Amino acid sequence: MKKKIIIDTDTGTDVDDAVAITLALKSPELKVEGITTVYGNTLLRAQIVLKLLKLMGINDVPVAAGVEKPLLRERDIWWPGHEGKGILTDEDKNLKPVDKHAVDFIIEKIMENPGEITLVTIGPLTNIAAAIIKEPKIIENVKEIVMMGGVARIFDNAPELPYIEHNIKCDPEAARVVFNSQIPITMVGLDVTLKVPINRSHLQKIKNVGTDLTDTLVRLIEIWWEFLKSDSSCMHDPLALSYCIKPEFLETMNCKVIVETQGKHTVGQTIVIPDENSNIKVACGVDSDGFIEFLIGRICSKN
pLDDT at 255 over 90: yes
pLDDT at 76 over 90: yes
| pLDDT value of position 263 | 86
Predicted confidence (pLDDT) per residue in 179-200, tens digit: 999 999 999 999 999 999 999 9
Q: What is the average per-residue pLDDT within 27-48?
A: 98
> Mean of the per-residue pLDDT values for the chain?
97
Question: Does residue 236 carry a catalytic annotation?
Answer: yes
Give the domain CATH number at 136.
3.90.245.10
How far is Cα of residue 139 from the mean position of the Cα atoms in its chain? 20
pTM here? 0.98
Select which of 101, 202, 236, 265 is catalytic.
Answer: 236
Q: What is the average per-residue pLDDT within 242-248?
A: 98
Q: Are 230 and 199 in contact (CB under 8 A)?
A: no
pLDDT-derived band at 303 (thresholds 50, 70, 90) equals: confident
Q: What is the average per-residue pLDDT within 201-223?
A: 98
Q: What is the average per-residue pLDDT within 260-289?
A: 96
Predicted confidence (pLDDT) per residue in 139-161, tens digit: 999 999 999 999 999 999 999 99
DSSP assignment of the chain equals -PEEEEEEE-TTSSTHHHHHHHHHHT-TTEEEEEEEE-SS-HHHHHHHHHHHHHHTT--SS-EEE---S-TTS-S-----S-TTTTT--GGGGG----SS-HHHHHHHHHHHSTTTEEEEEES-SHHHHHHHHH-TTHHHH--EEEEE------STTGGGS-SB-HHHHH-HHHHHHHHTS---EEEE-HHHHTT-EE-HHHHHHHHHH--HHHHHHHHHHHHHHHHHTSS-EE-HHHHHHHTTT-GGGEEEEEEEEEE---STTTTTBEEEEE-TT-SEEEEEEE-HHHHHHHHHHHHH---
Range of the domain at 153: 3-300
pLDDT at 272 over 80: yes
| pLDDT value of position 128 | 99
The count of domains in the chain is: 1
Predicted confidence (pLDDT) per residue in 161-183, tens digit: 999 999 999 999 999 999 999 99
| pLDDT value of position 240 | 99
pLDDT-derived band at 219 (thresholds 50, 70, 90) equals: very high
| pLDDT value of position 302 | 83
| pLDDT value of position 119 | 99
Q: Are 184 and 279 in contact (CB under 8 A)?
A: yes
